[in-house]
Amino acid sequence: GEDVEQSLFLSVREGDSSVINCTYTDSSSTYLYWYKQEPGAGLQLLTYIFSNMDMKQDQRLTVLLNKKDKHLSLRIADTQTGDSAIYFCAESWNNQGGKLIFGQGTELSVKP
């Protein structure tokens, strides 16, 4: 079945790197995503990675995918207080009509 797991909380100091982890069960997924949700707002797509890639970098964000271990991570370099939010990983499949399966979300708290 489809299941996506994340740890619920992460706390870091401003300027440090944050690493948010995610594990998933269905290795046939096509894309894996990271979404960000700030208080009182909807989800915002941060980045995504195609399942045949190992790594994707986009400015302060680095996504690592270990397909063998079904493990996805999001590294935020030089974390700022504005990065405090809930981060969701999600997976999708080519043949399942836009269906996204989300993890529970990791609440990132950045302390000054």
Partner 1 sequence: ETGVTQTPRHLVMGMTNKKSLKCEQHLGHNAMYWYKQSAKKPLELMFVYSLEERVENNSVPSRFSPECPNSSHLFLHLHTLQPEDSALYLCASSQETGTNGGEQFFGPGTRLTVL
Q: Point out which residues bind partner 1 (CB under 8 A).
A: 4, 30-31, 33, 35, 40-45, 48, 88, 90-92, 94, 97-105
Residues near 35 by beta carbon (within 8 Å), at least 6 away in sequence: 43, 44, 45, 46, 87, 88, 89, 90, 102
Q: What's the min distance (Å) between Cβ of 91 and partner 1?
A: 8
Q: What's the min distance (Å) between Cβ of 109 and partner 1?
A: 17
Nearer to partner 1, 18 or 103 (CB): 103
CB 17 within 8 A of CB 77: yes
Nearer to partner 1, 43 or 63 (CB): 43
Nearer to partner 1, 76 or 90 (CB): 90
Q: What's the min distance (Å) between Cβ of 98 and partner 1?
A: 3
Nearer to partner 1, 14 or 67 (CB): 67
Cα radius of gyration (the chain) = 13
Sign of CA dihedral 85, 7, 104, 24: positive
Query: Pick from 22, 68, 26: which is nearest to 48 by CA?
Result: 22
